[in-house]
Amino acid sequence: MKKATTCVHAGNNNHNPAHGLNTPVYTSSAFGYLDTQENIYPRYYNTPNQEVVVQKLCALEQGEAGLLFGSGMAAISTAMLALLQAGDHVILQRDLYGGTHHFVTTELERVGISYTLVEEPTVDQLEVAVQPTTKLVYIETPSNPLLKITDVAAVGSWAQQHKLISVIDNTFASPINQNPIPLGVDVVLHSGTKYLGGHSDLCFGAVITSQSLRDRIYATAINLGGSINAATCALIERSLKTLSLRVAQQNRNAQAIAEFLQQHPAVNQVHYPGLADHPGHETAKQQMQGFGGMLSFEPRVDGSDGAERLMRQLKIITPAISLGGIESLVCAPAKTSHIKLSAEERRLVGVSDELLRISVGIEDTEDLVEDLQQALV
Ligand SMILES: *Cc1c(COP(=O)(O)O)cnc(C)c1O
């Protein structure tokens, strides 16, 4: 099955007595156990509604097994705490999602896990960072908010050579645009709150990986308890059925907006991997099936105030935090995801006061371009 079909059909559990087409919502937290093969319980991550969603995500990511969590951070923290122990070392890229950066810098050393943040996870920089105790390498591509591209297959095979577990946060790309497991990465993480949910009304996370790594993560996951209930699973299942449609339109809209902004005299720079002059364009073309719905740009305005004035001129694109939904959102990373960094730190990671990030929605392409056109004059 191709992805659009997988979104609609994979994992469907419609074997219900009334022959309804949709998976029944099993509202129970208590399940009979005398006639079942395993004990079913929400925090054992094995209720029917959890399993349907996991099967759909495994089919989309070409993974063997997975787990669903109550947030992206629950998936990320559980996976790392499960796969690492005191004395281990982990390598991550420096421009991580803010919440992941905060988790790594505030929790890992407390439990005896050391880490190195590399500027860019190229094989050269990974070779410099690797230590005898290194167990895991962790990447995010495209990155937030500058859409930097990491060569996923290169990191995957480097990790295999060094017998390390490779982990990727695939949230920005979504499984429609990028499948890291066939590229050689061991563990795929998602903040489902973004594209998978896609309507800015759900919060969840997912891990997709091999059966053996899933079992290792599971052993810790039942202790940490970040599971999800059936009603949310049913909404996720419905959302996933339209994932490929939504992402296809988001890809188209983002490309059109990036091209429009690039030629606009009031814009200094556009960061979008679908643009031929983006430094990661060739790698993105190799490893992505679409360039995604996230972009950022530097309007020719004066500082944070100028950026805010521009956002307030927009009529459709809404200033809001988060991403991946059907509606287009804009935010200034200097005032949102990167607000905890000093001005100097922001300068070092390339986040200017003027930088605006757009999460492109599924609206009409022309309406979105016109909205930016009228705001930029
Ligand atoms: C939002 C996000 C997360 C965290 O997900 P939550 O659902 O907010 O816990 C992790 N990684 C990326 C790339 C994100 O955008």
Distance CA 30, CA 41 (A): 7
pLDDT of residue 347: 86
Cα(99) to ligand 1 centroid in Å equals 7
| Catalytic choice (56, 135, 148, 194) | 194
Dihedral class, residue 292 (left if φ above 0, else alpha if ψ from -120 to 50, else beta): left
Q: Are strands 356-359 and 329-331 parallel, antiparallel or unpaired?
A: antiparallel
Cβ of 142 closer than 6 Å to ligand 1, yes or no, is: no
Cα(38) to ligand 1 centroid in Å equals 32
Backbone φ and ψ for 140, nearest 5 degrees, come out as: -140, 125
Distance CA 334, CA 92 (A): 22
CB 173 within 8 A of CB 141: yes
Give the amino acid at 332.
A
Q: 201 Cβ partners below 8 Å, 6+ apart?
A: 235
pLDDT of residue 377: 82
Which residue's CA is the closest to the ligand 1 atom numbered 5? Answer: 72
Cα(97) to ligand 1 centroid in Å equals 7
Cβ of 72 closer than 6 Å to ligand 1, yes or no, is: yes
pLDDT of residue 58: 98
Cβ of 191 closer than 6 Å to ligand 1, yes or no, is: yes
Find residue 357's DSSP bridge partners: 296, 331
Cβ of 292 closer than 6 Å to ligand 1, yes or no, is: no
Closest CA to 344 of 353, 356, 336: 353
pLDDT of residue 217: 98
| Catalytic choice (97, 115, 195, 218) | 97
pLDDT of residue 271: 98
Which residue's CA is the closest to the ligand 1 atom numbered 7? Answer: 72
Residue for token pair 């202790």: 223
Q: Six-digit token pair at 353?
A: 């006061």
Cα(74) to ligand 1 centroid in Å equals 10
Predicted confidence pLDDT, tens digits, the chain (377 residues): 999 999 999 998 777 888 889 999 999 999 999 999 999 999 999 999 999 999 999 999 999 999 999 999 999 999 999 999 999 999 999 989 989 999 999 999 999 999 999 999 999 999 999 999 999 999 999 999 999 999 999 999 999 999 999 999 999 999 999 999 999 999 999 999 999 999 999 999 999 999 999 999 999 999 999 999 999 999 999 999 999 999 999 999 999 999 999 999 999 999 999 999 999 999 999 999 999 999 999 999 999 999 999 999 999 999 999 999 999 999 999 999 888 888 888 888 889 999 999 999 999 999 999 999 999 98
Q: Which domains does the chain have, with CATH numbers?
A: 3-240 (3.40.640.10), 243-376 (3.90.1150.10)
In sign, the C-alpha dihedral spanning 2, 275, 240, 74 is: positive
Cβ of 172 closer than 6 Å to ligand 1, yes or no, is: yes
Q: 82 Cβ partners below 8 Å, 6+ apart?
A: 216, 217, 218, 219, 220, 221
For residue 144, the ligand 1 atom closest to its alpha carbon is 13
- 3-state SS, the chain, equals CCHHHHHHHCCCCCCCCCCCCCCCCCCCCCCCCCCCCCCCCHHHCCCHHHHHHHHHHHHHHCCCEEEEECCHHHHHHHHHHHHCCCCCEEEEECCCCHHHHHHHHHHHHHHCCEEEEECCCCHHHHHHHCCCCEEEEEEECCCCCCCCCCCHHHHHHHHHHCCCEEEEECCCCHHHHCCCCCCCCCEEEEECCCCCCCCCCCCCEEEEECHHHHHHHHHHHHHHCCCCCHHHHHHHHHHHHCHHHHHHHHHHHHHHHHHHHHCCCCEEEEECCCCCCCCCHHHHHHHCCCCCCEEEEEECCCHHHHHHHHHHHCCCCEECCCCCCCCCEEECHHHCCCCCCCHHHHHHHCCCCCCEEEECCCCCHHHHHHHHHHHHC
